[in-house]
Amino acid sequence: MGEAQALVESILAQAGEEAEKILAAARAKAEERLAAAREELRQKEAALEAEAARRAALEERRIATTVELAIRRERLQAKAALLDEAFAEAYRALVTLPEEKQRAFLSRLLLAAVETGEEEVVVAPGERGKYEALLVEVNEELRRRGGRGGLRLAEDMAGPEGGFVLRGPEYTVDCSYLALLAERRSVLEPEVAKVLFGGAPVGG
């Protein structure tokens, strides 16, 4: 019996040692897997943080660009409004010129626009009296220059407020103040912008 008992104890001891080895290996494997999982999680968190930072930077740039464009658009609109007002003021100045200066200006305008000397002059109803006297002077000047001097007021009264429309057989010349300013705006606008904005471009 003593030998049998010793054999049993020896077997149990060996089994215990083997179990301890198996458990130790299992614990080591578990620790290894846990470390790998932790590292994978750390890498994923770092990647997510980097992606979040990238997206935040992109959004920040997008917002900054949007704000910058909005500011530029508002600045452009403000400058355009100032230019519109400047040319509107120029129109008002033309319309309200003193009578003598306006007659001289319109006389020069008529003499420069005439082609045959027998055109019709279309004016606003309220300005017919002024042009009747003016055409007498302009026709005299045309004849003095060797022209026909047959300008006459048109029967219709659809002319512009300020200035006139010269109408020939197959052509018209719009000499209204609004048309003259519109024609000159592209030329004058840079100079007006320099005065208003100190040389900064309108779109800047």
90 and 108 both lie in a single domain = no
Q: Which of 75, 96, 117 is the last residue of a domain?
A: 96
Co-location of 55 and 36 in the same domain: yes
Q: Are residues 82 and 4 in the same domain?
A: yes
Tokens of 51: 């992606």
Residues 88 and 106 in one domain: no
41 and 63 together in one domain: yes
How many residues comprise the chain?
A: 204
Q: What is the total count of domains within the chain?
A: 2
Are 80 and 3 in the same domain?
A: yes
Residue 204 forms part of a structural domain: no
d(CA 2, CA 81): 116
- Same domain? 112 vs 133: yes
Tokens of residue 157, six digits: 């009264």
At what angle are helices 128-144 and 99-113 packed, to 10 degrees? 50
User: What is the C-alpha separation between 8 and 94, in angstroms, rounded?
Assistant: 127
Last residue of a domain, one of 65, 96, 127: 96
Q: Does 156 reside within a domain?
A: yes
Q: What pLDDT sits at residue 76? A: 63
Are 95 and 162 spatial neighbours (Cβ–Cβ below 8 Å)? yes
- At 120-166, the pLDDT tens digits run 999 998 888 889 999 999 999 999 999 999 999 998 877 788 899 99
Q: Would 132 be classed as within a structural domain? A: yes
pLDDT < 50 stretches in the chain: none
> Does 191 lie in the same domain as 102?
yes
CATH number of the domain that residue 169 is part of: 3.30.2320.30
**188 and 112 belong to one structural domain:** yes
Looking at the structure, tell me whether residues 6 and 60 fall in a common domain.
yes
* pLDDT at site 23: 61
Among residues 60, 77, 96, which one ends one of the domains?
A: 96
Which pTM value belongs to this model? 0.57
Report the pLDDT value the prediction gives residue 26, as an integer from 0 to 100: 66
Pairing, β 163-167 against β 172-176: antiparallel
The whole domain housing 18 covers: 1-96
Q: Is the domain of 115 the same as that of 82?
A: no
Which pLDDT score is estimated for 69?
66
